[in-house]
Amino acid sequence: MLKILKYSFYDLMRSRWSYVYFGFYLLLGVVLLFLNNDLSKAVITLMNVIIVLVPLIGTIFGVMYYYNSKEFTELLLAQPLKRSSIFLGQYLGVAISLSMSLILGLGIPFVFYGLFMSNAIWDFSLLLITGTFLTLIFTALAFNIALSNENRIKGFGYAILLWLFLAIIYDGIFLMSLILFADYPLDKLSLIGTMLNPIDLSRTLILLKLDISALLGYTGAVFKQFFGTNFGLIISFSALTLWVVLPVLRIAVKARKKDF
């Protein structure tokens, strides 16, 4: 698997798209710093952007890479290699190269701006960790979609739909149901609702860091325990890990049964 990972990674590191993403994040970082003149504010703006954009890029790029490297995959399949290693290797290659684009693209301008000497460094690290998690999750979901759909157009369609659903529609439905059932105790429900969507989950992590003052204004005991202690942080990270593990497992299972 490591060999496949190595070659996929090399392949991607040289591809135009990696540079495009790297350049994009670099530009985003520079522009935000330039416009805000303030590290903390730039980090906050970035967080808002990252939790929406990283999933989109991860999904699209994952699906694209899978379909584009289909023939190469077939070449690999004829080699004495385990199927799961081929796909997991490719998956990790994509996910890691995307994460690298993110980390380097955002990291470089912030480091030059004096990140290490500011107290925004923890917020920024959290941002990168969350971004990496989201990349891992959405690339895995993209591979799942691509593995289940031979038709490229359909695959892309589902990928965009998935992103649209998790980034926007889900929260709309979530909010509607909260308002609709406002007469019932909702704190458990709303926490569960958050766990079921990796974008919301990452958002929660960021809220824990940025908006703890606002969150503590809420009276529910479950909320208090969740946000007021490390409990929330631990649960959120575990759930994120689960969100990585489950789709990756499905890649392995699906790959074993699939015809090429």
Partner 1 sequence: MIKIKDLYKKFGKNEVLSGLNLEIGEGGIFAVLGPNGSGKTTLIKCLLGMVIPNKGEISVLGKNIKSGSGYRHKIDYLPQIANFPNNLRVKELITMIKDLRGKTDLDQELISLFKLEPFLDKKLGNLSGGTKQKVNLVLTFMFDSPLVILDEPTSGLDPISLLRLKKLIQAEKDKGKTILITSHIMSFVEEISDEIVFLLEGKIYFKGTITELKDKTKQPDFEHAIASILTENHA
Partner 2 sequence: MILLKENDFILINFNFILKNKHYIIFFLTALLSLTNLWSKTITVCSSCTVKTIREAIQEASDGDTIVVKKGIYKEANLKIDKSITLIGEDHPTIDGEQKGEIITIGADNVTLDGFKIINVGVSYTTDYAAVRVVRSEGFTIQNLELEKLFFGIYLQKSNNGKVLNNTVRGEAVTEFNSGNAIHLWYCSNVEVRGNDVRNVRDGIYLEFSDQITIIDNFSKNNVRYGLHFMFSNDNSVTNNQFETNGAGIALMFSKFMDVEHNIITKNWGTASYGLLLKEVNDVNLKNNVFKENTVGITVEGSNRLVYANNDFISNGYALIVKGACYDNQIIANNFLYNSFDISYNGRIHDNKFDNNFWSNYTGYDLDKDGIGDVPYRPVKLFSYIVNRTPEAIILLRSLFIDIIDFSEKVSPVFTPDDLMDENPRMKRIDHDKN
Contact window for partner 2 (CB under 8 A) among 68-76, 136-144, 161-169, 234-242: 161-169
The single residue listed with the structure tokens 């965009």 is: 160
Mark the segment that binds partner 2 (CB under 8 A) among 1-9, 129-137, 145-153, 203-211: 203-211
Q: What is the C-alpha to C-alpha distance for residues 122 and 40, in angstroms, rounded to an integer?
A: 10
- Rounded to whole angstroms, how far apart are CA atoms 28 and 212? 26
Hey, CA dihedral for 31, 34, 36, 37, is it positive or negative?
Answer: positive
How far, in Å, CA of 168 to CA of 76, rounded? Answer: 38
Coil, strand or helix at 90: helix
Site for partner 2 in 181-200 (CB under 8 A): 182, 186-187, 189-191, 193-194, 200
Q: DSSP string spanning 125-187?
A: HHHHHHHHHHHHHHHHHHHHHHHH---HHHHHHHHHHHHHIIIIIHHHHHHHHHHHTTTS--H
Q: Quick count: other Cβ atoms within 10 Å of Cβ 75?
A: 10
- Total site size for partner 1, rule CB under 8 A: 26
- 121 alpha carbon, distance to own chain's centre: 20
DSSP 114: T
By a kind-dependent CB cut-off of 5 to 8 A, residue 75 interacts, out of partner 2, partner 1, none, with partner 1
Is 11 among the residues that bind partner 1 (CB under 8 A)? yes
User: Per rule CB under 8 A, is residue 79 in the interface with partner 1?
Assistant: yes
Confirm or reject binding of residue 121 to partner 2 (CB under 8 A). Answer: no
**Size of the chain, expressed as the number of residues it contains:** 260
Q: Is 47 in the site for partner 2 (CB under 8 A)?
A: yes
Task: Residue 15: name its binding partner from partner 1, partner 2, none (Cβ under 5 to 8 Å by kind).
Answer: partner 1
Q: Residue 2, interface with partner 1 (CB under 8 A)?
A: no
Does position 76 bind partner 1 by CB under 8 A? yes
Choice from 19, 24, 67, 72 touching partner 1 (CB under 8 A): 72
The answer to whether 69 contacts partner 2 (rule: CB under 8 A) is: no
223 binds, among partner 2, partner 1, none (CB under 5 to 8 A by kind): partner 2
Residue closer to partner 2 (CB basis): 70 or 224: 224
Assess 148 for contact with partner 1 (CB under 8 A).
no
Cα 228 to Cα 199: distance, rounded to the nearest angstrom? 21
- Of 41, 83, 152, 224, the residue at the interface with partner 1 (CB under 8 A) is 83
Q: Which stretch binds partner 2 (CB under 8 A): 108-116, 126-134, 217-225, 239-247?
A: 217-225
Structure token digits, residue 172: 């709309």
**By the criterion CB under 8 A, which residues form the site for partner 1?**
3-4, 7, 10-12, 14-15, 69-72, 74-83, 257-260
